[in-house]
Amino acid sequence: MNQHNHEWDGDEWCWVWDENRCCFRWVRRRHSCKRERQHVHEFLGSTRFTEEGEEAHNHRFAGVSGPAIPTGSSHVHRIVTLTDNTDHFHRIEDTTGEAIPVGEGRHVHFVRGETSFDDGHRHEFIFATLIENPTGEDG
């Protein structure tokens, strides 16, 4: 179980991985959360163009990943966001690949997939997350 904790007014709250829902939940804990540094990644990109002629278009998107999900010797993150909206939008929901080291103890994640099917089509996307903790400051 991967957890992140915060304390406000004596209450302790944790991000807890819920196997049944396949997502993290923010819960108040009566006992101490496992103290573990948790991180997320920013991401941004554009979908590939779809359709042809006057209907050809793409979409932009940005967001922040969910907390790390352990996978053996590495981890992945859930990505959930919506694209920009001209006359329609698409949902992006995927899981990153495992961590890719980029030096100085930092890493990124690769993501490749397709958007939801809306307005009669879907778009492909491919991007890398930004590094975690870009300033290098603790806390």
What is the tens place of the pLDDT at every residue in 15-66?
555 555 555 566 665 544 444 457 899 999 999 998 677 788 999 999 999 9
Residues 123 and 139 in one domain: yes
- Going 9 to 12 to 16 to 18, the CA torsion angle's sign is negative
Say yes or no to pLDDT of 109 above 90: yes
Mean pLDDT of 111-136: 90
- How many domains does the chain fold into? 2
Q: Quick one: 19 and 79 in the same domain?
A: no
106 and 62 part of one domain: yes
Q: Are residues 106 and 132 in the same domain?
A: yes
In terms of pTM, does the model score above 0.75? Answer: no
Asked whether residue 25 falls in the same domain as residue 53, the answer is: no
Residue 4 has pLDDT above 80, yes or no: no
Judge if 126 and 82 occupy the same domain.
yes
Q: Are residues 59 and 120 in the same domain?
A: yes
pLDDT on residue 28: 60
DSSP letters spanning 43-109? EEEEPPPBS-GGG-B--EEEEEPPPPEEETTEEE-EEEEE---SS---EEEEE--S-EEEETTEEE-
Q: Are residues 85 and 103 in the same domain?
A: yes
Same domain, 59 and 29: no
Per-residue tokens: 36? 């573990």
Q: Indicate whether 26 and 80 sit together in one domain.
A: no
**Parent domain of 16:** 1-36
CA 5 to chain centre: 19
Q: Is the pLDDT of residue 123 over 50?
A: yes
